[in-house]
Amino acid sequence: MKPLLSAKRLTKRFGARVACQDVDFDLWPGEVLGIVGESGSGKTTLLNCLAGRLTPELGSVTYDSAAYGTIDVHDLSEARRRLLSRTEWGFVNQDAREGLRMGVSAGANIGERLMAVGARHYGDIRRTASDWLSRVEIERDRLDDRPTTYSGGMRQRLQIARNLVSEPRLVFMDEPTGGLDVSVQARILDLLRSLVGSLHLSAVLVTHDLGVARLLTHRLMVMQGGAVVENGLTDQVLDDPQHAYTQMLVASILPV
Amino acid sequence: MTNGAYNYAYLDEQTKRMIRRAILKAVAVPGYQVPFGGREMPLPYGWGTGGIQVTAAIIGHDDTLKVIDQGADDTTNAVSIRRFFAKVAGVATTTRTEEATVIQTRHRVPETPLREGQILVFQVPIPEPLRMLEPRETETRTLHALSEYGVMQVSLYESIARHGRISKGYNYPVMVNGRYIMSPSPIPKFDNPKLDRSPALQLYGAGREKRIYAVPPYTPVKSLDFDDHPFEIETWEQCCELCGSKESFLDEMIVDDDGKRLFVCSDTDYCERRRTLPEAAE
């Protein structure tokens, strides 16, 4: 078996500031990898480098594509990378407004990827959009409403539907539950867990919330100051942290 | 013949060469917007500065010019531009579509079918069809370059979702030669089928945004639609009050204080021909 996504000695600097340094990992098909660490530790930069949104100074990211075979994400032409990112990949932003078109209805938001790859039957697009809306637990009669009329949690679920409609193999998630209240978070986590299972998705999930990481991820990378300080199975890392920083992170979870 | 104070056709020769080069490039890449160094013209932006520069660059001594505004030959704008070129280029002018070699137009394509050798010059306010969907110029250029036109389809989807049909009535987006999405300038969608495989050369000039694009003769121009919501043009229950045409694009006019309505052809030349020559009406 080949890894789906593989990073080798990935390094990104902003001027003299190191955002992430010498990051190595393999993501296997069906696996959910969590990246945790405090704010400013380079999690989001790493995610953007993996998704081809930022170009790293050093190192490489290879992806095992269904359509093109094994490819280097940063050697791809822009056309191909953009095609990849709206067919085989998904990207869920922390702020749903960045990932949605706020000016058009939920149905158009979900249908955009389908239309981008050539769907030209209004009725079919609408039916698919409606199915996805109910899969992410939004009432079907909200299909023609704009996301501006949605609550934060609904927007996030809409963003997930918009990404998953093209049946991607790999989803990048940047704090998908950040900024939502706890009960809404729980619903979205439940939803993500069932979707990841039923669609055999692989995912890279950035979060600062260890609870989210424990629920969703199989493997965990802990980052501090741009470097990976610990890396292992999620339960192992959280139950028996080895690095001093991880121990501090685990110890600072508020007991309920 | 021409006014000695101005160079032939108002613009200096270097400017006309520059515009001609842009036109050649535009013709070579149908539907692609070519930037050009737009000049200040003696009329305000929005009145046809783009069209008038294109016309100035292509017009020759032997040309016959027709200018229409909303289909009419007798509106201020049409009369002024016609008179302008009669003065600075000394060309013959006409209101007859068949006689013209260059037709500058705002908002309409003439009803009379065009033939080979004629050039239709459109005045374009907003050349970028994706502008209302994607405000960033860098992004729209990328979308054109990569032929990523999902967002245009999204806008049509939204229109059907909200109104039950594609409600866009003018400036209806078209796909040129299967490659570039193009704004046909604010002509009614009624005129879109006339652009498809037209024997005449179509040149589009946007003065404010300084872009030229073109559709060479016999180029396929397809109006965007959905399989289950195909492109349709407007129809009227009425026929033209003056000439009785059932095929032409009609303007609705209110003629008195009681709200009495009248439908007449928007193309004045076509309407007049049908009235004066009974055989033309058949």
The predicted-structure confidence for B181-227, as pLDDT tens digits, reads as follows 999 999 999 999 999 999 999 999 999 999 999 999 999 999 999 99
Residue A150 CA to residue A103 CA, distance in Å, equals 12
What ipTM does this complex have? 0.88
Residue A112 CA to residue A166 CA, distance in Å, equals 10
Residue A226 CA to residue A232 CA, distance in Å, equals 17
The answer on A48 and A141 residing in a single domain is: no
Residue B91 CA to residue B85 CA, distance in Å, equals 7
The answer on A125 and A55 residing in a single domain is: no
Residue A229 contacts residue A222 (beta carbons within 8 Å): yes
Q: Which residues of A lie closer than 8 Å to B, measured between beta carbons?
A: 78-79, 82, 86, 101, 104-105, 107-108, 111-113, 115-117, 120-123, 125-126, 143-144
> What is the pLDDT at residue A256?
65
Residue B282, pLDDT above cutoff 70 = no
The answer on A159 and A126 residing in a single domain is: yes
Mean pLDDT throughout B9-33? 97
Segment holding A186, helix H or strand E: helix A182-199
Check residue A245 and report its DSSP letter: H
Mean pLDDT throughout B60-89? 95
What does each C-alpha distance from B136 to A102, A212, B128 come to in angstroms?
Answer: 16, 36, 11
A73: closest CA of chain B, how far (Å): 18
Domain assignment present for residue A66? The answer is yes
Mean pLDDT throughout B15-27? 98
Q: pLDDT band at B6, cuts 50/70/90? A: confident
Measured torsion, CA atoms of residues B15, B17, B19, B23, in degrees rounded to the nearest 10: 180
Residue B138 CA to residue B154 CA, distance in Å, equals 20
Domain assignment present for residue A94? The answer is no
Domain ranges of chain B: 13-132+156-223, 235-282
Residue A223 CA to residue A23 CA, distance in Å, equals 10
Interface with B, mutate which of A100, A120, A130 (most B CBs under 10 A): A120
Residue B53 contacts residue B122 (beta carbons within 8 Å): no
The answer on A239 and A125 residing in a single domain is: no
Domain assignment present for residue A7? The answer is yes
From chain A, the residues in CB contact with B151 under 8 A are: 112, 116
Domain boundary among A128, A146, A167: A167
Catalytic, B265? Answer: yes
Q: Which residues of B lie closer than 8 Å to A, measured between beta carbons?
A: 142, 146, 148-151, 153-155, 157-158, 160-162, 225-229
Number of Cα atoms under 13 Å in the Cβ half of residue A106: 31
Domain assignment present for residue A155? The answer is yes
The answer on A128 and A63 residing in a single domain is: no
When divided into structural domains, chain A yields a total of 2
Lowest mean pLDDT across A13-22, A177-186, B77-86, B169-178: A177-186
The answer on A155 and A188 residing in a single domain is: no
Segment holding B211, helix H or strand E: strand B211-215
Total number of residues shown for chain B: 282
The answer on A114 and A31 residing in a single domain is: no
Residue B156 contacts residue B172 (beta carbons within 8 Å): no
From chain B, the residues in CB contact with A126 under 8 A are: 161
Degrees, nearest 5: CA angle B179-B182-A114: 60
Residue B281, pLDDT above cutoff 70 = no
From chain B, the residues in CB contact with A122 under 8 A are: 157, 160, 226-229
The domain containing residue A43 runs over which residues? 1-88+173-256
Domain assignment present for residue A96? The answer is no
**In this complex, do B161 and A115 lie within 8 Å of one another by their Cβ atoms?**
no
Catalytic, B243? Answer: yes
What does each C-alpha distance from A250 to A41, A234, B234 come to in angstroms?
Answer: 16, 12, 67
Domain assignment present for residue A76? The answer is yes
For residue A102, the chain B residue with the least C-alpha distance is B133
Segment holding A131, helix H or strand E: helix A122-135
> What is the pLDDT at residue B132?
87
The answer on A78 and A184 residing in a single domain is: yes
Residue A173 CA to residue A202 CA, distance in Å, equals 11
The answer on A201 and A154 residing in a single domain is: no
Burial class (CB in 10 A: 0-12, 13-18, 19+), A204: buried
Residue B120: which of B201, B208, B192 has the closest Cα?
B201
Q: Residue A24 sits in a domain of what CATH number?
A: 3.40.50.300
Domain assignment present for residue A95? The answer is no
Residue B108 CA to residue A58 CA, distance in Å, equals 56
Measure CB to CB from residue B148 to each of A116, A125, A144 and give the nearest one.
Answer: A116
Catalytic, B51? Answer: no
Query: Collapsing DSSP states into helix, strand and coil, what is residue B84?
Result: helix
Taking only Cα atoms into account, the Rg of chain B, rounded to an integer number of angstroms, comes to: 19
Residue B280, pLDDT above cutoff 70 = no
Averaged pLDDT of chain B:
94
What confidence tens digit (pLDDT) does each residue in B95-114 have?
Answer: 999 999 999 999 999 999 99
> What is the pLDDT at residue A183?
86
The answer on A17 and A69 residing in a single domain is: yes
Amino acid at A246: T
The answer on A184 and A78 residing in a single domain is: yes
Residue A185 CA to residue A169 CA, distance in Å, equals 23
B233: closest CA of chain A, how far (Å): 19
What CATH number matches the domain at B13-132+156-223, 3.20.20.70, 3.40.50.11310, 3.60.20.30, 1.10.569.10? 3.40.50.11310
Catalytic, B239? Answer: no
> What is the pLDDT at residue A209?
87
Domain assignment present for residue A2? The answer is yes
Domain boundary among A167, A195, A212: A167
B31: closest CA of chain A, how far (Å): 20
**In this complex, do A122 and B162 lie within 8 Å of one another by their Cβ atoms?**
no
The answer on A70 and A195 residing in a single domain is: yes
Taking only Cα atoms into account, the Rg of chain A, rounded to an integer number of angstroms, comes to: 18
Residue-by-residue pLDDT tens, chain A, 256 positions:
899 999 999 999 999 889 999 999 999 999 999 999 988 889 999 999 999 999 999 999 999 999 889 999 999 999 999 999 999 999 999 999 999 999 999 999 999 999 999 999 999 999 999 999 999 999 999 999 999 999 999 999 999 999 999 999 999 999 998 878 888 888 888 889 898 889 989 999 999 889 889 989 999 999 999 999 999 999 999 999 999 999 998 998 877 6
